Amino acid sequence: MARHSKLQKQVLSLFRQFLRAGQDKPGFLPRIRDEFRENSSIKKTDVMHIEYLYRRGQRQLDQLKDVNTKQLGTFSKPKVER
């Protein structure tokens, strides 16, 4: 089995940190899983995109760890056919 590249290890580490941080706050875990699942389809070679999402994820993780962030909700609207 091919070993994980450095970037892949960083992404996995970020994912673990997110899961740990989002444990006690409602609404975050499902979204974290959904986001990572959706972005897993990005090609391994598209390093620019992955690094951009990684940097953004680090900022979002800092915000999640902040004691003042309380929950994640969602406003949703059924898509209307145009």
Tell me the backbone φ, ψ of residue 18, rounded to 5 degrees.
-60, -45
Distances (CA, A) of 56 to 44, 51, 62: 18, 8, 10
The verdict on 66 binding other proteins (CB under 8 A) reads yes
Question: Residue 15: in which H helix or E strand, if any?
Answer: helix 6-21
Binders of other proteins among 1-60, rule CB under 8 A? 23-24, 26-31, 34-35, 38, 56, 59-60
Residues forming the site for other proteins (CB under 8 A): 23-24, 26-31, 34-35, 38, 56, 59-60, 63, 66, 68-79, 82
